[in-house]
Amino acid sequence: YQPQLDLRGRQIVGVEALLRWRRANGSYIAPGEFIPIAEQSTLIITLSQWLINQICRQILIWDHIKLPPLRVAFNVAARHFRHAQILATLHESVGRYAIDPARLCIELTEDALLDDAAHARTILEEIKRIGLSISIDDFGAGYSSLSHLRSYPIDELKIDQRFIAELTTDPGSRAIAASVIAIGNTFGLRVVAEGVETAVQLAILSEHDCGIVQGYHLANPMSANALADWIRYRQEGPA
Ligand code: C2E
Ligand code: CA
Ligand code: CA
């Protein structure tokens, strides 16, 4: 789970769930290696079901130990998004764990919205009806149009981290990041900059009035227990 912070107040507002596969020897396999393989079969569906249930369970545990009520974002592969199973899983998990669905945010990449726009809209509307918020991941790198922001029920834009990486070196990337922030703010959407690695990047994002930041400069992805410690340490300081 990687913290997402409100840029102004530096309060944690949410986390993004990022999968890790632990080998028997304790080392980890990155999702970039196993997700594309899982996507080639129905394994991706089983994996996503497991993930969503795991997140709901984790939310109950964090609530039980009185952590602030964070929003948990999770990634859904475009291939699984188009599968009817995703809606059933969301309904079922939210019901089974009696989670406030507003605590969940689904991250989709632009390609999930492209082919068969009508079908995509139907699924998005159903996800909204269940009560989740919807984020467009890696925004700015794909082909979605501005009219998507108007016609789809979207709550959040995540600026593609390539543009954040190039904020100080490429005026074009900086212009794209600034534009995405301005567009998001104009449409009343949350805007998240991810991959923030330096104080200078943070200052530029602040200058452009970006709402939420995520990246190694703020916090690395960490286990659920480490996240609880991280939040308490920030609230209370060293024991
Ligand atoms: P993503 O959704 O764009 O996730 C952001 C990636 O950036 C994560 O890599 C994260 O660990 C990394 N990151 C965070 N802060 C920084 C930073 O400051 N600098 C840099 N350079 N990178 C940073 P990770 O965890 O290896 O995940 C890679 C991709 O794998 C994700 O990209 C996402 O597309 C996919 N993925 C991860 N978990 C899941 C999952 O549960 N389901 C699906 N379908 N895909 C997942
Ligand atoms: Ca993501
Ligand atoms: Ca991303």
Residue 235: predicted pLDDT: 86
Task: Write the Ramachandran bin of 29: left for phi over 0, alpha for psi from -120 to 50, otherwise beta.
Answer: beta
Q: What percent of the chain has pLDDT over 70?
A: 100
Which residue owns the Cα nearest ligand 1 atom 7? Answer: 195
The HSE-up count of residue 122 (CA atoms within 13 Å, CB side) is: 9
Q: Which band of pLDDT confidence, cut at 50, 70 and 90, is reported for residue 239?
A: low
The HSE-up count of residue 1 (CA atoms within 13 Å, CB side) is: 25
Please tell me if the CB atom of residue 160 comes closer than 6 angstroms to any atom of ligand 1. Answer: no
- Residue 31 CA, distance from chain mean position: 15
The stretch 28-37 carries a mean pLDDT of 94
Question: How remote is the CA of residue 64 from the centroid of ligand 2, in Å?
Answer: 26
Identify the H or E element spanning 54: helix 43-64
The stretch 208-225 carries a mean pLDDT of 97
Listing DSSP states for 148-175 in one string gives HHHHS---EEEE-HHHHHTTTT-HHHHH
Please tell me if the CB atom of residue 31 comes closer than 6 angstroms to any atom of ligand 1. Answer: yes
Is residue 54 over pLDDT 80? yes
- Residue 9 CA, distance from chain mean position: 20
Which residue owns the Cα nearest ligand 1 atom 12? Answer: 195
Please tell me if the CB atom of residue 137 comes closer than 6 angstroms to any atom of ligand 1. Answer: yes
Identify the bridge partners of residue 190 per DSSP, sorted by sequence position.
156
Which residue owns the Cα nearest ligand 1 atom 27? Answer: 31
Neighbours of 229 (CB within 10 A): 12
Q: Tell me the residues surrounding ligand 3 (ion) with CB < 5 Å.
A: 137-138
Please tell me if the CB atom of residue 215 comes closer than 6 angstroms to any atom of ligand 1. Answer: yes
Is residue 143 over pLDDT 80? no
- Ligand 1 atom having least distance to the Cα of 2: 14
pLDDT one-digit tens code per residue, 93-120: 999 999 999 999 999 998 888 777 888 8
Identify the H or E element spanning 28: strand 28-29
Which has more pLDDT, 73 or 144? 73
Please tell me if the CB atom of residue 197 comes closer than 6 angstroms to any atom of ligand 1. Answer: yes
Residue 85: predicted pLDDT: 86
Question: Ligand 1, from 46, 75, 109: best to mutate by most atoms within 8 Å of Cβ?
Answer: 75
